[in-house]
Amino acid sequence: MLTIRLAPRRAVSGVLALPVAGSGSTDLARPRDDVALLPEDAAAEAAALVDDADNPGRAGATQILPRPLRRPERLLLVGVGAGDEAGWRAAGAALARQSESTARTVALPPDCDPSVVRGLAEGLWLASYQFVAGGRRRRRGAITVAVDGHERYADALTQAKATVEASCLARDLTNTPSSRKNPAWFAQQVQQAATSRPELSVTVRGPRELAAEGFGGILAVGGGSATPPRFVELSYRPRGARTHVVLVGKGITFDTGGISIKTLDGMKLMRKDMGGAAAVAAATIGAADLGFRTRITTLIPLAENAVSGGSFRPGDIIRHYDGATSEITNTDAEGRLVLADALGYAVRRLRPDVLVNLATLTGANAVALGKRTAAMYSDNDTLAGAFADAAAAAGERVWRMPLPEDYVAYLASDLADLYSAPTQGAGSVVAALYLREFTGDLRDRWLHLDMSAPSWSDRPVDELAKGATGWGVRTLLRWLATVD
């Protein structure tokens, strides 16, 4: 990971990045008073460049001012928009994308809020992530953040670091090819992370335990694969916790669609179908690293939805952990089947205060909301509001969707309690309504995020690298920080 060092502001040689404020209009864009760090000629040149540039204060906009044979030898003007955390996050991401030798010192305004450091650091670190064959590319190099009273910002930097480390762990897991990433491998990764952290413990159930205890959804979905399913229970139990949160994440290590097989186009990126599992696992590890006070139990049903003589079929009827049955209408609607078991287990065995689910559940998420916004579902306005706030602060987008009562009728099967995949449309909404059937008396303490779309980025943009985004980790950590 790139090193970020906090240091007092002083005259700089080398390359200095100078923030430019302004939320869109050119007249707002002026170099901040950091120009005091500069010799007068450099300050004047910077001011002239800003006057000349088109919208230089837009968050993430950059201009380079070369100053051959003088010091600093180069000025890099970077827009911070409104100067809030999001603006600085965009600025950090833009700086990370400058050629590696570019900005060596970033000047912060005097007396700035610690959120400025958090935004800048998260942007720098998240945008410098790269996954190549064989794993994460190591980034060397250091950036100095010049700010007066830098001790005040150490905490913000620590939070940024833990958040980014968790996000990048989720990205690594999601980017890993499915030839390596089978259910047993994923379970092992979680176990490994837990061994180095005494407050974390893990239990893993394999096919035998799953059969004995009635996890019919996980077994049906995993039945077609040469690599059998697992159910991971990761537990974080800090002293004095008052609230117990259960996180559930969809962990399909590859989704062919099963017998209702996908097209090549629909299948080629389906190694990402465990993005929800990656996010909840990584966020739990992050919560432990940050010493949060909330008790967290994280449930991860893991299966590969494969095609073979052992695959489940359309028309099959399966029995879930809580005893309810589903009539399979499409084997490609597999996520909800494994989640139904996990939700039933949470309700029956764990009885938490809050139940939160993350899943790459439907292609319909992207149809409704595009590539960067998750669909959020909850009957609880307070909980939904808290998540919307957390997502906004974290820089991840959610949009609350309805749970219309009259659509519940679409789920009625005459052979089982529920159809797994009704065909009346509103795919993301109906999937959410299906999941809600398994929340029992926790129905009003449940929140579901369909994050199929934002879990992946097809190009580097803002703080996102190409590929897995780690979506959800930042929102979960922000939200968990507010739970007492």
Q: Which of 16, 59, 302, 364 binds ligand BES (CB under 6 A)?
A: 364
Q: Interface with ligand BES by CB under 6 A: which range of 57-65, 219-227, 240-248, 362-370?
A: 362-370
Query: Is 268 an annotated catalytic residue?
Result: no
Report 317-336 residues binding ligand BES (CB under 6 A): 330, 332-335
**Which one, 115 or 360, has the nearer CB to Mn ion?**
360
* Shortest Å distance, C-beta 363 to ligand BES: 4
**Which one, 191 or 330, has the nearer CB to ligand BES?**
330
**Which one, 114 or 314, has the nearer CB to ligand BES?**
314
Amino acid at 101: S
Q: What DSSP element (H or E) covers 282? A: helix 275-289
DSSP letter string over 87-131? Answer: HHHHHHHHHHHS-TTS--EEEPPTT--HHHHHHHHHHHHHHT--E
For strands 397-400 and 373-378, give the pairing.
Answer: parallel
Contacted entry of ligand BES, Mn ion, Zn ion, none for residue 357, CB cut-off 5 to 8 Å set by kind = none
Out of 336, 445, 474, 478, the active site residue is 336
Contacted entry of Mn ion, ligand BES, Zn ion, none for residue 421, CB cut-off 5 to 8 Å set by kind = ligand BES
Amino acid at 29: A
Q: Is 273 in the site for ligand BES (CB under 6 A)?
A: yes
Asked if omega into 404 is within 30° of 0 (cis), the reply is no
- The DSSP call for residue 363 is T
Residue 14 near residue 105, CB atoms below 8 Å: yes
| Rounded (10°) angle between helices 427-436 and 335-345 | 30
Q: Is 256 in the site for ligand BES (CB under 6 A)?
A: no
* Shortest Å distance, C-beta 415 to ligand BES: 18
Q: Which of 31, 216, 301, 335 binds Zn ion (CB under 5 A)?
A: 335
Q: What's the CA angle centered on 330, arms 327 and 336, to 5 degrees? A: 75
Q: Interface with Zn ion by CB under 5 A: which range of 175-183, 244-252, 342-350, 428-436?
A: 244-252
Taking residue 450's Cβ as centre, other Cβ atoms within 10 Å add up to: 32
Number of alpha carbons in the 13 Å side-chain half-sphere of residue 237: 6
Q: Is 55 in the site for ligand BES (CB under 6 A)?
A: no
The count of residues in the chain is: 484
Query: Is 250 an annotated catalytic residue?
Result: no
- 9-45 burial by CB neighbour count: b if 16+ within 10 A, else e? beebeebbbbbbbbbeebeebbbbebbebbeeebbeb
Number of residues that bind ligand BES (CB under 6 A): 14
Taking residue 404's Cβ as centre, other Cβ atoms within 10 Å add up to: 11
Out of 136, 139, 152, 262, the active site residue is 262
Q: Which of 85, 233, 273, 437 binds Zn ion (CB under 5 A)?
A: 273
**Which one, 359 or 394, has the nearer CB to ligand BES?**
359
Tokens 């935004």 belong to residue: 119
**Which one, 115 or 326, has the nearer CB to Mn ion?**
326
Which residues contribute to the site for ligand BES (CB under 6 A)?
A: 255, 273, 330, 332-335, 360, 362-364, 421, 427, 452
Residues tagged active-site: 262, 336
